[in-house]
């Protein structure tokens, strides 16, 4: 009855969820979700949703809930550190779908038999995740490729699960105080916005192409090619990359490649993505980062990417530069400009002390001497202490930052990420306000002014209408306007003269550039000169503009108010 009143089908799925909760000792929570209770506390002695229990429940509920848990693991500004630690253990790895089903998906999507699309196709999946699995194959011309296929029926299942998630989220917020505090419904909304991007192979292929274009002139990074003729919304065919996973340090060294060089390539790649491209690979774990046998590094699996606009990139550049130069005022200014802290509601003195206490112990140290978990925990402590709510892309960026540092540490890097990032940050700030961007910003501001101007008549009419109806009372007080009048008149007169100068200059330029000549007169001066009436008018316009310009400058200088 509850499900019907909520407009949600899938009573069987709901029953499965309550059964899983009960199996993990969370029967009281299941009962609370089934009745319309608004108690804020659980009765003593009932099961509590510990981090481990939460992870196990999500794993047992399947792909949709595993993905939801992975999203939750990026929201350290919402969930306590112990929950984040446990949620990061969620493995996006499940048994592969039977090949016969994968074959059906490929043939339906490509609209032809498998043997006509591929010369060879390995029936055993090389990787299997909750929403897709990957097989190796060869195209008809012999090119080795990786074929990523969306699991059959997964889209429909996720849609149904999202409807159920909304229902559960509303019930959780209604039944538990902590649910309202965490904003569970908003978490589901965020999940809905992101999950379908991962299910769209066209979007992932587009991400690969963007990265390929961004790194086309960077020899040390290689982005695989997308074969669009074999790619659909549910099937992605891209170049297969032969190499070594980045965490296989001994194997990397055995192939004559220095792991520290690989780490530096990764750090430079991250800096470039962050401060030059504005699009970053948001899941750089070892399986998605391949060391090629010639020493290059290849990024694969672009299902999760983050995006930064130009303003955010500049703020991040100031942030990195501030940290690199121990300039905490610059750091705080960057955080303020990004809207992450509000000087009116936060104790800046205390915040600056906490930033310094957190950061100073890590300066100048190699990644190999730093515990990434310690850095992460301290950042989270500051975020939670000052109740900072970070946008998803910045939380994703923080997660990527931690993963990148972790890879550098695995490879034994002695580099400092801040030092690697510094030149990229400086370069971005140097070009941040070049002529093209200034003109772009001016154009945007002019469009804003135009939009406001178009709204002024309507707003003025509304104000006057409400005033006439007695809804508003206008009261104007003035003091000393009589003394101000001469100054205002002089200012207006100078503006008018300035407009005349501009008009004369423009008119003169247009006339002189005109191909039409009217009443051409000839003068026997210096061997003969021809002058048309149009040219004469143009010269007069320039002369008037010049004389008035000198007069205006002289009058302003004489007034002493230049």
Domain identity same for 213 and 183: no
> Is 445 known to be catalytic?
no
Under DSSP, the state recorded for 313 is H
Q: What is the pLDDT of residue 24?
A: 73
pLDDT over threshold 90, residue 297: yes
pLDDT band at 119 (very low <50, low <70, confident <90, very high): very high
Residue 282 C-beta-side C-alpha neighbours within 13 Å: 23
Domain identity same for 298 and 157: no
**Residue 123 falls within a domain, yes or no?**
yes
Rounded to whole angstroms, the Cα distance separating 492 from 471 reads 35
Question: Read out DSSP for 201-263?
Answer: HHHHHHHHHHHHHHTTT-TTEE-PPB-GGG--SSEEEEEPPPEEETT-HHHHHHTT--HHHHH
**Residue 403 falls within a domain, yes or no?**
yes
Under DSSP, the state recorded for 98 is P
Contact at 8 Å (CB) between 62 and 130?
A: yes
Domain identity same for 428 and 541: no
Domain identity same for 401 and 452: no
pLDDT in tens, 325-349: 778 888 888 888 877 788 888 888 8
pLDDT in tens, 70-79: 777 766 666 7
Q: What is the pLDDT of residue 185?
A: 84
Contact at 8 Å (CB) between 213 and 278?
A: no
Sequence-separated contacts (24+) of 79-83 with Cβ below 8 Å = 79/182, 80/384, 81/377, 81/380, 81/381, 81/384, 82/51, 83/51, 83/54
Q: What is the pTM of this model?
A: 0.64
The β-bridge partners of 208 are none
pLDDT over threshold 50, residue 149: yes
Using the Cα atoms of residue 275, residue 279, residue 282 and residue 287 in order, give the sign of their dihedral: negative
Q: What is the pLDDT of residue 92?
A: 60
**Residue 269 falls within a domain, yes or no?**
yes
pLDDT band at 45 (very low <50, low <70, confident <90, very high): very low
**Residue 521 falls within a domain, yes or no?**
yes
Q: What are phi and psi of 401, to 5 degrees?
A: -60, -45
**Residue 476 falls within a domain, yes or no?**
no
* Least confident among 287-291, 441-445, 487-491, 512-516: 441-445
Q: What is the pLDDT of residue 515?
A: 56
* Least confident among 79-93, 138-152, 251-265: 79-93
Domain end: 181, 205, 240, which one?
240
* Residue that has been written with the tokens 């200012």 in this structure: 491
**Residue 478 falls within a domain, yes or no?**
no
Q: How far is CA 505 from CA 456, 516, 538, 541, 547, in A?
A: 32, 19, 9, 6, 11
* Least confident among 145-159, 255-269, 543-557: 543-557
Rounded to whole angstroms, the Cα distance separating 407 from 267 reads 9
Q: How far is CA 475 from CA 30, 261, 456, 467, 478, in A?
A: 61, 72, 20, 11, 10
**Residue 298 falls within a domain, yes or no?**
yes
**Residue 182 falls within a domain, yes or no?**
yes
Find the helix or strand (DSSP H, E) in which 197 lies: helix 184-198
Domain identity same for 389 and 448: no
The average pLDDT across 500-506 equals: 70
pLDDT band at 171 (very low <50, low <70, confident <90, very high): confident
Domain identity same for 203 and 190: no
Sequence-separated contacts (24+) of 323-329 with Cβ below 8 Å = 323/359, 323/418, 324/418, 324/419, 324/421, 324/422, 324/425, 326/360, 326/363, 328/352, 328/355, 328/356
User: 139 by DSSP, 3-state: which?
Assistant: strand
β-strand 221-222 against 297-299: which pairing, if any? Answer: parallel
pLDDT in tens, 404-443: 777 787 888 877 776 787 788 888 877 654 444 444 555 5
Domain identity same for 274 and 392: yes
Domain identity same for 98 and 208: yes
| 156: containing domain | 93-161+195-240
Q: What is the pLDDT of residue 434?
A: 46
Q: Which residue has the higher pLDDT, 480 or 22?
A: 22
User: What CATH number has the domain bearing residue 227?
Assistant: 3.30.200.20
pLDDT in tens, 362-413: 666 665 666 655 666 677 677 778 877 667 677 777 777 777 777 787 888 8
User: 306 by DSSP, 3-state: which?
Assistant: strand
Q: Which residue has the higher pLDDT, 287 or 336?
A: 336
Domain identity same for 346 and 491: no
Domain count, the chain: 5
CA nearest 132: which of 228, 55, 203, 229? 203
Domain identity same for 188 and 295: no
From the candidates 283, 333, 377, 445, give the one annotated as an active-site residue: 283
Alpha-helical (H) ranges within 81-176 are 81-87, 99-110, 114-117, 154-175
Q: What are phi and psi of 297, to 5 degrees?
A: -115, 135
Domain identity same for 361 and 293: yes
pLDDT band at 145 (very low <50, low <70, confident <90, very high): very high
Token code pair at residue 558 = 């004489």
Under DSSP, the state recorded for 362 is G
Domain identity same for 456 and 507: no
CB atoms within 10 A of CB 425: 24
Q: Which residue has the higher pLDDT, 459 or 561?
A: 459
* Least confident among 163-172, 350-359, 545-554: 545-554
pLDDT in tens, 176-232: 776 776 678 888 888 888 888 888 999 999 999 999 998 998 999 999 999 999 999
């Amino acid at each position: 009855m509850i499900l019907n009143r909520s407009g949600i089908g899938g009573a069987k799925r709901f029953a499965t969820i309550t059964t899983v909760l009960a199996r993990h000792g969370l029967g009281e929570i299941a009962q609370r979700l089934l009745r319309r209770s608004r108690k804020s506390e659980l009765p003593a002695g009932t099961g509590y949703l510990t981090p481990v229990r939460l992870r196990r429940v999500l794993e047992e509920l399947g792909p949709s809930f595993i993905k939801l848990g992975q999203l939750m693991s990026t929201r350290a500004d919402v969930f306590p550190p112990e929950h984040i630690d446990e949620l990061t253990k969620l493995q996006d790895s499940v048994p592969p779908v039977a090949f016969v089903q994968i074959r059906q998906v490929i043939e339906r999507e490509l609209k032809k038999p498998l043997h006509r699309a591929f010369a060879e196709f390995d029936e055993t999946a090389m990787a299997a995740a909750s929403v897709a699995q990957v097989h190796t194959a060869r195209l008809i011309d012999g090119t080795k490729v990786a074929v990523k296929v969306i699991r059959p029926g997964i889209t429909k299942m996720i849609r149904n699960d999202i409807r159920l998630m909304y229902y559960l989220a509303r019930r959780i917020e209604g039944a538990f105080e902590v649910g309202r505090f965490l904003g569970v419904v908003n978490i589901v909304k965020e999940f809905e916005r992101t999950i379908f991007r991962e299910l769209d192979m066209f979007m992932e292929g587009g991400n690969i192409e963007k990265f390929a274009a961004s790194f086309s002139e960077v020899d040390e990074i290689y982005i695989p090619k997308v074969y669009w003729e074999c790619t659909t919304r549910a099937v992605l065919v891209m170049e297969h990359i032969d190499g070594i996973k980045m965490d296989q340090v001994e194997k990397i060294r055995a192939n004559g490649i220095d792991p520290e060089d690989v780490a530096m390539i990764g750090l430079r790649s991250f800096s470039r993505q962050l401060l030059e491209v504005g699009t970053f690979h948001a899941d750089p774990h070892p399986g998605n980062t391949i060391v090629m046998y010639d020493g290059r590094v290849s990024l694969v699996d672009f299902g999760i990417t983050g995006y930064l606009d130009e303003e955010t990139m500049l703020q991040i550049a100031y942030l990195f530069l501030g940290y690199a130069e121990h300039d905490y005022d610059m750091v705080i200014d960057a955080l303020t400009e990004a809207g992450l802290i509000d000087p009116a509601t936060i104790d800046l003195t205390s915040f600056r002390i906490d930033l310094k206490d957190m950061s100073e112990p890590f300066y100048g140290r190699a990644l190999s001497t730093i515990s990434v978990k310690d850095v992460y925990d301290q950042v989270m402590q500051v975020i939670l202490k000052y109740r900072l709510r970070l946008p998803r892309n910045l939380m994703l960026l923080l997660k990527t930052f931690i993963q990148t540092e972790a890879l550098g540490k695995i490879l034994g890097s002695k580099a400092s990420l801040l030092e690697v990032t510094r030149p990229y940050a400086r370069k971005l700030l140097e070009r941040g306000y070049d002529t093209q961007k200034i003109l772009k910003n001016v154009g945007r501001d002019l469009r804003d002014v135009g939009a406001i101007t178009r709204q002024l008549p309507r707003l003025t009419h509304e104000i006057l209408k409400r005033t006439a109806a007695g809804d508003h009372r206008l009261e104007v007080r003035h003091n000393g306007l009589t003394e101000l009048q001469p100054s205002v008149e002089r200012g207006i007169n100078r503006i008018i003269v300035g407009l005349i100068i501009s008009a004369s200059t423009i008119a003169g330029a247009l006339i002189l550039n005109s191909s039409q000549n009217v009443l051409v007169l000839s003068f026997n001066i210096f061997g003969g000169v021809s002058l048309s009436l149009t040219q004469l008018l143009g010269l007069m316009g320039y002369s008037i503009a010049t004389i008035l310009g000198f007069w205006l400058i002289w009058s302003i200088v004489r007034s002493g108010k230049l």
